[in-house]
Structure 1
Amino acid sequence: MYNYNQDLTSEVPQFTKMLELLRYRGPDDFNVVNNKHVLLGHCRLSIIDLNGGKQPFKYTFNNVEYTIIYNGEIYNMNQLKEQLLNDGFHFHSQSDTEVLLLSYIAYGTRCLNLLDGIFSFVISYQNKLFIARDQLGVKPLYYYHHDDLYIFSSEIKCILMYLKQCVVDKNGVRELLGLGPSVSPGNTIYKDIYSLRPGHYMTVFNGYHDIDRYWALERHNHNRSYEETVYDVRSLVNHSIRKQLLSDVPISCMLSGGLDSSIITGVASQYISNLATYSVDYQDQDKYFQPYEYQTTRDEHFINEIKTMYKTNHRTVTLSQKNLVMALKTAMIARDAPGMADVDSSFLLFSKEISNHHKVVLSGECADEIFGGYPWFYREELINIEGFPWMRDFDKRMELFNDDIQALNIKNYVLDKYHQTLNEIDYHDYNFKDANKRKMIYLNMEWFMQTLLTRSDSQTMHSSIELRVPFANKDIVSYLYNVPWEYMYHNNTEKGLLRDAFKDFLPEDIYNRKKNPYPKTHSPIYRDLIVELLKESLNDKENILLRFFNYDKLINLINTGGQSFKYPWFGQLMTGPQLLAYFYQIYLWGRIYQIKIELE
């Protein structure tokens, strides 16, 4: 919290209560520092230098005191530390927090281009603030600004507690119903609450602030042969995985038996013996599983192959339908908004089980956004959609809304956001497929990937574990941005380049396995539970769904188990019961957060 024009000492009790809301993000330590015009608070999850590196962390240089609060990991901390030692700096801990702070003291904003890691941080000195977020947005950073007051937080709930109200204006409604569960870059669904975009930093002084971009994808020619590109990709991915094994606590991996998690498990096993791996499944999945367009096989066989091949210490977490439904509420609160429904609640329960044994887990998230694994990278009917290809049949979506919501012209709002994003980059190329690839990588990086990263951070940190995503690496995405599509889609195979780069690490059937998304439950018990809860919610006269949807069409959607809406609402999984679960999260959000809607 920062106010250059007011002594904030009287706000310390309230500020401490706000910080208490984040205890689960850092149960190992809790501290608040009052610098009169700046209040800094931190909950610590100790991973590196367990006894040192307490935050807020202070360092005095040239008679100026600098203080930092920071969330994340700097994977190249040892290289930076050596460079800083050569420059004459001295260290008082073994923490990456101190390395980060001294990097800023030594190099100013240029330090951001030296950092390899996941981070969001605030540095305070001389009544100034410097705030930054990592290049790809793995770690969140939200803020509120009104008059001279600024509040920054890893989660929105702290800001909402201070404001004592949750206001969603017409643009927030457009975000929720037109773009949700994604949000447009730099925004949230809440009025006057924003997100610092990935690859950006903010400076605050005397009640004014500036936001600048310090990292962006750059277009250039790719002159490497296919064989050389395979080697480069293997080197980049290997390097990213190895760096992310930096930890003073044991490391684990999520393992689905798919290409991405199998690669991470295989490489990590070269450095860690008896590596711990985890997978998730659902009760009676063997009984009810039905292959469909996006999920053609179950994971169990492939998981067994990898755990045997690399001799991992494996646990399978099996979730019940009842617990999956019950966790929808907590998953929504962890995110402070309706999210990806049971994909979120499943991920939350999965993470809680991992947290019983580990603090750090690696995941294969983000490979599809970067290596072109989604069907909208290569299927003609999706490539030619005007707008976000993970949200199809928008006109049918609009038919579900009532007259007040239809008057908001949500479709045009969404298309405007789509074109605004594309106007940020030069993706054009004489080769249409290469142009489309660049366009899709950027759209995915700024939108779809952010939705998944928000899910990953919110659900894992709510479980007091740190998720690391080796594929979400600035060097990997910068390289792939300029690789020809014919290389990435080698042999007309999704992620063909990545497959070839790690062919020797994989059993043949995993090398050839079609991409499958995060597993969802197929049990009719889950569908029936959601239908029952939604019908029951309609007895609540304050149900926020009634503010948004045509009642008859909402009832029809519920009665058909979500089947009256044919295409996924978002992504690949949000159909049928999963769509109903999303609507149920909207209902819970409206009731629990006492949402105030402003359409004027």
Structure 2
Amino acid sequence: MCGFTGWIDWTDDLTKQSATLEKMTGTLANRGPDASGTWISPHCALGHRRLSVIDPINGAQPMVRTTEDDTYVLVYNGELYNAPELKRELEGRGRRFTTTCDTEVLLVAYMEWGPSCVEKFNGIFAFALWDSKEQQLFLARDRLGVKPLFFAKQLGRFIFGSEPKALLAHPAVKPEIGPEGLAEIFIVGPARTPGHGVYRDLSELLPGQCAIANRSGVSIAAYWKLESRPHTEDAAATARKVGELLSDTVERQLVSDVPLCTLLSGGLDSSALTALAVSYYKQTGQGNVHTFSVDYVDNDKHFKSHAFQPNADAPWIERMTSYLQTEHHPIAFDTPELVEALRDAMLARDLPGMADVDASLLLFCKEIKKEATVAISGEAADEIFGGYPWFHREDALNANTFPWSLAAGMRADLLSQDVAAWIKPLEYLGDRYSDAIAEVPRLNGEDAAASRMRQMSYLNIARFMPTLLDRKDRMSMAVGLEVRVPYCDHRLVEYVFNIPWQIKMTGDREKGILRQSLEGVLPHDVLYRKKSPYPKTHNPNYLSAVRSRLLDILSDGNSPLLPLINVKKIREIAESETASSNLPWFGQLMSGPQLFAYLLQVDMWLREYRVSIR
């Protein structure tokens, strides 16, 4: 995994802009701590930071290949899991290779097939490839958007990078936001609308899209989209197919030339991946799998069960590590660490994010990095298989909005009157919901109930899942850790999306078809454990710490946050005795402490990035 950036400019000689390129590239040092490289020509400048995973010696970037009449230059972030098959196919067509890394496979694939090469890739990737003869830049992003890619289009200029910070290091890109950006921060967030870069004039290449930038401008096209197709297999055959796909993608993603581990919560999703990894390691004689788990000091004393977190993880982690005989590394954080990490988590995203959940993940990844360079994680199973409570609640299914936005009216009430009148938050949210519903691929002959569940699945895959993938990429890459997400294999997603809801709910259980596919892989009690999300701290000291800091900000007349919010209402919430860790001020996704921590992050962001609002 890596980070890259650069730009093309038809009005300037970029060979004189090496200092700017170095500055932009340097912002991504955490994504690629192992090596740095730049390439510059009159109209194209490319910068790269490398995290070495496959063929550390020979995979340097930017990677350059020349032919008799052309020069190709590639900067790339990701992994191709079908690189061996592609390499054999390309060798059969007369192509030759000098490395064992997938970077060269991607580059040669483009040389052989041009832009259509992306249709052959199985992996997680974002890349930019300069073709000197054609004088054009080709960019692409993986089908599910696991790897990020941002860009800014300007007159005669196209700037791009793995993270907003790289673009903001270019003098032509300013940290400005308008009403759309504020709406993304205060009403849509943390589930930022895919494609919206929040900063004014900053956009994001969508999952499954590619782009060509040349003298004629920038053209963007989708090379992949979810499609609705009839599903003809019964539950037993479906479960077998799910199991086969999951086993295949896990085995592909276990390939690494550096230490690899799995993230283990004791839940269904991570336990399944760990069990499959242990089985594969035994078959291939690779020794024990290393596993990592996260918890918080005194969480066992303060945990209270609720719909979104029905039970604690610790006993289940012990159950799985004992069952699988893994080399386990439990990690726990205390309140002061979590509070201090809010700033670093904001810097990693270049935006306020998921508050304490981001901060703890960043700290978790930092500890994992001490022992491993690659981790396998269970992200996306709930979105794909229908595991969240809102898949099963009538109020969420019948609401004319995103299921994670049921408390949007409460969120809107926390804005200042001027800001609310300017950005029209509920109207903006309604438009984004309408956009998403209009994208859902229909299936002829489907009844209303089945159609609604298809809509819900699509919303979760195309709108909520990117939030978690964005979080996982940014927090892990901030410390140079590569995280792979097997449930995001596009073949698995395509197949499961079209499984009828009654089959997905096999056994009358959420994710029932996944559970059936894993019979014999996991112990029965783990296989049928109730869903529990990424753990949060329940320590009342955390509430006290973030509330105290927020109250200080509310009393600071110089805070850039104050003109944006309803100070009186937020102060009342912060000072109330009911601002406890399980009070859903923002609906299911943001409790009292999370609200306070999020506002702290917004204040930090406005100050440190010197954000201009206009």
**SS of equivalent residue, structure 1 residue 23:** coil
- The equivalent residue for 1:365 is 379
- The equivalent residue for 1:258 is 267
Return the TM-score normalized by structure 1: 0.97
CA displacement at 1:523 relative to structure 2:
0.4
**SS of equivalent residue, structure 2 residue 48:** strand
- The equivalent residue for 2:427 is 412
- The equivalent residue for 1:35 is 41
1:313 aligns with 2:330: no
CA displacement at 1:207 relative to structure 2:
5.1
> In the alignment, residue 373 of structure 2 is paired with which amino acid?
K
Aligned residues: 597
Structure 2 residue corresponding to 1:423, chosen from 416, 438, 447: 438
**SS of equivalent residue, structure 1 residue 270:** helix
1:394 aligns with 2:405: no
Could you list the per-position Cα deviations for residues 80-127 of structure 1 after superposition, in whole angstroms to 9, with x for gaps in the alignment? 000000011011111100100111111122211110000000000122
| Counterpart contact for 1:147–1:207, Cα < 8 Å | no
Which runs of structure 2 are paired with 1:236-385 in the superposition (5 Å)?
236-272=245-281, 273-385=287-399
> In the alignment, residue 228 of structure 2 is paired with which amino acid?
R
Deviation larger for 508-517 or 41-50? 508-517
Please give the alpha-carbon distance, in whole angstroms, between the structure 2 residues aligned to 1:567 and 1:232. Answer: 39
1:567 aligns with 2:591: no
Please give the alpha-carbon distance, in whole angstroms, between the structure 1 residues aligned to 2:538 and 2:499. Answer: 38
Could you list the per-position Cα deviations for residues 252-301 of structure 1 after superposition, in whole angstroms to 9, with x for gaps in the alignment? 00000000000000000112231000000000111111111211111111
Please give the alpha-carbon distance, in whole angstroms, between the structure 1 residues aligned to 2:229 and 2:400. Answer: 26
**SS of equivalent residue, structure 2 residue 405:** coil
Could you list the per-position Cα deviations for residues 399-425 of structure 1 after superposition, in whole angstroms to 9, with x for gaps in the alignment? 222111221211111111111122123
- The equivalent residue for 2:485 is 469
| Counterpart contact for 2:211–2:221, Cα < 8 Å | yes
> In the alignment, residue 437 of structure 1 is paired with which amino acid?
M
- The equivalent residue for 2:497 is 481
| Counterpart contact for 2:65–2:72, Cα < 8 Å | yes
| Counterpart contact for 1:557–1:563, Cα < 8 Å | no
Structure 1 residue corresponding to 2:61, chosen from 45, 55, 63: 55
- The equivalent residue for 2:592 is 576
| Counterpart contact for 1:258–1:510, Cα < 8 Å | yes
Which runs of structure 2 are paired with 1:542-557 in the superposition (5 Å)?
542-557=558-573
Deviation larger for 389-398 or 107-116? 389-398
- The equivalent residue for 2:158 is 150
Please give the alpha-carbon distance, in whole angstroms, between the structure 2 residues aligned to 1:440 and 1:129. Answer: 36
| Counterpart contact for 2:584–2:592, Cα < 8 Å | no
CA displacement at 1:586 relative to structure 2:
0.8
| Counterpart contact for 2:543–2:580, Cα < 8 Å | no
CA displacement at 1:182 relative to structure 2:
2.1
> In the alignment, residue 149 of structure 1 is paired with which amino acid?
R
| Counterpart contact for 2:410–2:586, Cα < 8 Å | no
CA displacement at 1:397 relative to structure 2:
2.0
**SS of equivalent residue, structure 1 residue 162:** coil
Which runs of structure 2 are paired with 1:120-269 in the superposition (5 Å)?
120-126=126-132, 127-163=135-171, 165-206=174-215, 208-269=217-278
**SS of equivalent residue, structure 1 residue 70:** strand
- The equivalent residue for 2:532 is 516
| Counterpart contact for 1:148–1:207, Cα < 8 Å | no
CA displacement at 1:504 relative to structure 2:
1.1
| Counterpart contact for 2:176–2:200, Cα < 8 Å | yes
| Counterpart contact for 1:557–1:564, Cα < 8 Å | no
CA displacement at 1:536 relative to structure 2:
1.3
CA displacement at 1:550 relative to structure 2:
1.3
Structure 2 residue corresponding to 1:115, chosen from 111, 121, 132: 121
Please give the alpha-carbon distance, in whole angstroms, between the structure 2 residues aligned to 1:286 and 1:534. Answer: 27
Please give the alpha-carbon distance, in whole angstroms, between the structure 2 residues aligned to 1:372 and 1:78. Answer: 33
Deviation larger for 552-561 or 44-53? 552-561
> Structure 1 pair 120/568, CA: closer, same or farther in 2 (3 Å)?
farther
Deviation larger for 41-50 or 421-430? 421-430
1:586 aligns with 2:602: yes
**SS of equivalent residue, structure 1 residue 121:** strand
> In the alignment, residue 411 of structure 1 is paired with which amino acid?
L
- The equivalent residue for 2:4 is none
Please give the alpha-carbon distance, in whole angstroms, between the structure 2 residues aligned to 1:425 and 1:102. Answer: 35
| Counterpart contact for 2:554–2:567, Cα < 8 Å | no
> In the alignment, residue 457 of structure 2 is paired with which amino acid?
I
Please give the alpha-carbon distance, in whole angstroms, between the structure 2 residues aligned to 1:418 and 1:108. Answer: 36
Please give the alpha-carbon distance, in whole angstroms, between the structure 2 residues aligned to 1:540 and 1:594. Answer: 17
CA displacement at 1:434 relative to structure 2:
2.4
> In the alignment, residue 426 of structure 1 is paired with which amino acid?
P
Could you list the per-position Cα deviations for residues 447-505 of structure 1 after superposition, in whole angstroms to 9, with x for gaps in the alignment? 11111011000000001010000001111110011111001011221101101110211
CA displacement at 1:71 relative to structure 2:
0.2
Please give the alpha-carbon distance, in whole angstroms, between the structure 2 residues aligned to 1:564 and 1:409. Answer: 29
CA displacement at 1:584 relative to structure 2:
1.0
CA displacement at 1:591 relative to structure 2:
1.1
**SS of equivalent residue, structure 1 residue 32:** strand
Return the TM-score normalized by structure 2: 0.95
| Counterpart contact for 2:267–2:531, Cα < 8 Å | yes
**Percent identity between the aligned chains?**
39
Please give the alpha-carbon distance, in whole angstroms, between the structure 2 residues aligned to 1:441 and 1:580. Answer: 31
Could you list the per-position Cα deviations for residues 131-156 of structure 1 after superposition, in whole angstroms to 9, with x for gaps in the alignment? 00000000000011211111111110
CA displacement at 1:565 relative to structure 2:
10
Please give the alpha-carbon distance, in whole angstroms, between the structure 2 residues aligned to 1:337 and 1:75. Answer: 31
> In the alignment, residue 142 of structure 2 is paired with which amino acid?
D
> In the alignment, residue 326 of structure 1 is paired with which amino acid?
E
Please give the alpha-carbon distance, in whole angstroms, between the structure 1 residues aligned to 2:333 and 2:519. Answer: 32
> In the alignment, residue 154 of structure 1 is paired with which amino acid?
S
| Counterpart contact for 1:119–1:138, Cα < 8 Å | yes
Structure 1 residue corresponding to 2:97, chosen from 91, 99, 106: 91
User: Which runs of 5 or more structure 1 residues have no equivalent in the other structure?
Assistant: none
1:65 aligns with 2:80: no
| Counterpart contact for 1:253–1:265, Cα < 8 Å | yes
Deviation larger for 279-288 or 388-397? 388-397
| Counterpart contact for 2:226–2:441, Cα < 8 Å | no
Please give the alpha-carbon distance, in whole angstroms, between the structure 1 residues aligned to 2:300 and 2:581. Answer: 26
- The equivalent residue for 1:537 is 553
CA displacement at 1:10 relative to structure 2:
2.0
CA displacement at 1:562 relative to structure 2:
4.0
Please give the alpha-carbon distance, in whole angstroms, between the structure 1 residues aligned to 2:581 and 2:253. Answer: 44
